[in-house]
Structure 1
Amino acid sequence: MMEITEENDISRIARSFGNAAEAYHQEAEIQKKVADGLISSLLPWRELLPSGPILEVGCGTGFLTRQLIEHFPDKEFLITDASPKMVEFCKSELEKEGLISDKIQFQVLDADEFDEGDTNYAMVVSNFAPHWFKDTSVSLENLSQSIQPGGLLLCSFPGNHSFEQWYEHCLELGLPYTSNPLPDVEEVVVKLSMGPMQIDYYENDLFQEFESSIDFFRHLKRIGASENVKGNALTSKQFRLLVDHWDQKCNNKLKIKWHVVYLAAKKDYA
């Protein structure tokens, strides 16, 4: 199995998630639900994967990792994340559950710097991480090159129809919309389809309730997901205007929409 060199210059996004690992593990309920959904979508493939190791990109605290190991007890794994602290947290959680073996390796990996080399994975899987790649389509296509024929690329990510309320309230107030740009699923599918991949995907809206808009933004910060990839931010005055307006528009609890994309791409045989 190939070795991946650890990056010394960890991005502020990876650092933010790493510092929030404990809170993420407790509070990232949408990410956990999506991991469960990704496992469900994998079940039909369980007996069809070719031989070879599995690479997980963006393991986080291990929501998906534990289930992967339980579903594929005979497979070798390379478990990775861009954050060293997340990798260590995930490893610690697996150790608590007695799931560590000599078949499982852990590495720090920035997917944007991934070099497929001569690897031959049976599956590359990534739960709720591809939207943090610099270019989701390019990085997924690059990852897919490391998969052997008959193997699978399986991933999930929030699509660009997430957080529509946030966008609409910014539009009404004439404020900058400072959410990170999220992938357009059609663009991702088209680019992946240009290679030797058979693509299947489905979309699902999940909703998360909060007492107020400020609770939503605090939640993102607590779990490490508030870093803006372009460094965009509202002024204090603009932010207060947004949360006051948003709360006035809601009679009850806020319902935040996550537009979730599940994507499976099987590599064709030559």
Structure 2
Amino acid sequence: MTTDKQLLKKRFAATFRQYDSLAVVQQEICGQLDEMIGRICPGRIGRAMEVGCGTGFLTRYLLRRYPDAEWIVNDLIEESEIYLRPYASGHYVEYLWGDAELLPLPGELDMIASASAVQWFDNLPLFIDRAVGSLCCGGYFAFTTFGTDNFREIRATTGEGLHYYTSEQLQELLTAAGYGIVETLEYTRHLPFDTPADVLRHIKATGVNSIRKARWGKQQLMDFETAYREHFSMPDGRVALTYHPILVLAQKK
């Protein structure tokens, strides 16, 4: 399935005001990736790029960790700059707006970092190949995405969802492109919600409903709620939504 990048841009832009308070899993993932980077890459980074910065969850960590680096910060949505300015002040930050799959990537980078963005790419293997060409020898590609159990309840109930790679498939793609795998982390996180309607509101509020163009009718919503409760109710009467983060730190050989 090809991602409608204009729909993606529109949906995520609409969530920016509330994203920081509601995207709790994405924020946790950024902290975990920063911790991984800090343990393995404690030295100086001269020039680096972040892909898919959004409102700056990962950007804040990276700027604190490498305050003297030259950062090229990318997102599909130009309005990201409004949310990044308070953190970028006093640092060397260059903005590169647009689809990272189509933009020419800068060269001679010590690091490319990305959090919860590459799952939207139409051709992740091609981007992995392009990224290795932009890195210096020994440079790092640090990213997070989601695995095949991500939003499994939504896929089972609606038949819709993104294509996700397994951790093993990601490592194979990276190895074939000329990276060495330094470290990976994979886990599942189950968020509880009072009702299936709350699950839908959460998905809409964090932008991750961006593959569905049409709105549901009343009967479709009722059918969704019935099926979701039937299959994914928790012992306390609430319902669950599964996140399946995968964190990867790879190094160009």
Is TM more than 0.5 here? yes
| Offset at residue 248 of structure 1 (A) | 4.0
Contact 1:54-1:77 at 8 Å conserved across structures: yes
- Matches of 1:144 and 1:26, distance apart in 2: 34
Q: Which moved more, 1:139-148 or 1:247-256?
A: 247-256
- Matches of 2:46 and 2:16, distance apart in 1: 30
Contact 1:136-1:183 at 8 Å conserved across structures: no
Contact 2:53-2:115 at 8 Å conserved across structures: yes
Counterpart in 2 of 1:113? 102
Using a 3 Å threshold, how does the CA distance of structure 1 residues 131 and 233 change in structure 2: closer, same or farther?
A: farther
| Offset at residue 257 of structure 1 (A) | 1.3
Counterpart code for 2:202: H
Structure 1 position 228 matched with structure 2 position 211? yes
Counterpart code for 2:25: I
Unaligned runs of 5+ in 2: none
Secondary structure at the aligned position of 2:240 is classed as strand
Secondary structure at the aligned position of 1:88 is classed as helix
| Offset at residue 29 of structure 1 (A) | 0.5
Secondary structure at the aligned position of 1:113 is classed as coil
- Matches of 1:19 and 1:76, distance apart in 2: 29
Unaligned runs of 5+ in 1: 1-8, 171-175
Secondary structure at the aligned position of 1:87 is classed as helix
Counterpart code for 2:104: D
- Matches of 1:10 and 1:184, distance apart in 2: 23
Secondary structure at the aligned position of 2:57 is classed as coil
Contact 2:46-2:68 at 8 Å conserved across structures: no
- Matches of 1:79 and 1:125, distance apart in 2: 10
1:34 to 25, 29, 36: 29
Counterpart in 1 of 2:8? 13
Structure 1 position 196 matched with structure 2 position 178? yes
Secondary structure at the aligned position of 1:122 is classed as strand
Contact 1:57-1:109 at 8 Å conserved across structures: no
Using a 3 Å threshold, how does the CA distance of structure 1 residues 112 and 232 change in structure 2: closer, same or farther?
A: farther
Counterpart in 1 of 2:20? 25
- Matches of 2:129 and 2:36, distance apart in 1: 20
Give the ranges of 4+ consecutive aligned residues of structure 1 lying more than 3 Å apart after TM superposition: 231-236
State the TM-score, normalized to the length of structure 1. 0.83
Using a 3 Å threshold, how does the CA distance of structure 1 residues 102 and 162 change in structure 2: closer, same or farther?
A: closer
| Offset at residue 162 of structure 1 (A) | 1.2
State the TM-score, normalized to the length of structure 2. 0.88
Q: Which moved more, 1:105-114 or 1:235-244?
A: 235-244
2:131 to 119, 127, 143: 143
Secondary structure at the aligned position of 1:194 is classed as helix
- Matches of 1:163 and 1:60, distance apart in 2: 21
Structure 1 position 181 matched with structure 2 position 163? yes
Q: Deviations over 1:11-49 (max 9, x none)?
A: 220121112101112211010010011111111233346
Counterpart in 1 of 2:192? 209
